[in-house]
Every structure is written in C-alpha cells, then in structure tokens.
Amino acid sequence: MSFAMAVRLALKGIMANKMRTLLTMLGIIIGVSAVIILISVGKGTTASVTENIESMGTNLVSVTIMGRGIDNSLTYEEAMSLSDKIGIAGVAPVVSGSVTAKYGTKTMEGLPVEGVNEDY
C-alpha cells in the first residue's frame, strides 16, 4: 500500500464518520488543553512559592521542634550551639507563651508574649 493510498483511505474514513471524527477531535483538544492548564498552574504555583521564599530571604531558616514528647523545645544552650555550625551566621531563639497582665485593678488573661535575644 502506497502512502497516497493510505491518505485516501484515511480521508474516506474521516468523511464517512463525521460525528466520530468530531468527537475524537474534541476529546483530543480537551485532553491537550487540560494538560496545558495543569502544567501552567503547577509552574505558576512554583513561581509564587519561590517568590515568597525569596522575599523572606533565602538565607533565613526557621526551625520548630516537634515530636519530642512532653519536652518539645530546645534549651537555650542547644539553640546557641547551632551557631557553631558551618554556614550559620547567627541564631535567634524565641520563646513564646501567654501571660496574665495586671494594671491597677484591671486584669487581662491570655496575652501573647515572645521573648528573644539580641540577635533576633
């Protein structure tokens, strides 16, 4: 079978089954469009996250300790020992909690307080 004959047979099949051809083309168009949209959304999200991280400064890292049982925090000495590691310019430990404040006869409970050192 020659190439010209194969093209003629294909065109004859397309013309004979117009509805099937239309639905097949529609399925391909929708599928390709969906892939393009998903790739665009993924790249846009990646760009947005990268921009947010860069706006904070790519040299800033926040470490939160989780899963150490009841004691889920670093001691001051543990935090400061991190500053001896290569590539770490400074360490600024933060302790946070809530307190009750009194002024005269007024009392307010549950006020958020954060304590930091001079490197913060």
**Which of 56, 78, 96 marks a domain boundary?**
56
Residues of the domain holding 83: 61-120
pLDDT of residue 71: 66
The per-residue pLDDT for range 48-85, each reduced to its tens digit, is: 988 887 787 767 777 776 655 666 677 888 888 887 88
52 and 100 both lie in a single domain: no
What is the DSSP code string of 89-119? -----EEEEEEEEEETTEEEEEEEEEEE-TT
**Which of 41, 56, 71 marks a domain boundary?**
56
pLDDT of residue 70: 67
pLDDT of residue 72: 66
Band of the pLDDT at 3, cuts 50, 70, 90?
A: very high
The per-residue pLDDT for range 5-59, each reduced to its tens digit, is: 999 998 998 899 899 999 999 999 999 999 999 999 999 999 998 888 778 776 7
The answer, yes or no, to whether residue 114 has pLDDT greater than 70, is yes
45 and 29 both lie in a single domain: yes
Q: What's the CA gap between 112 and 95, in Å, rounded?
A: 11
14, 37, 52 from 55: Cα distances, Å:
55, 27, 5
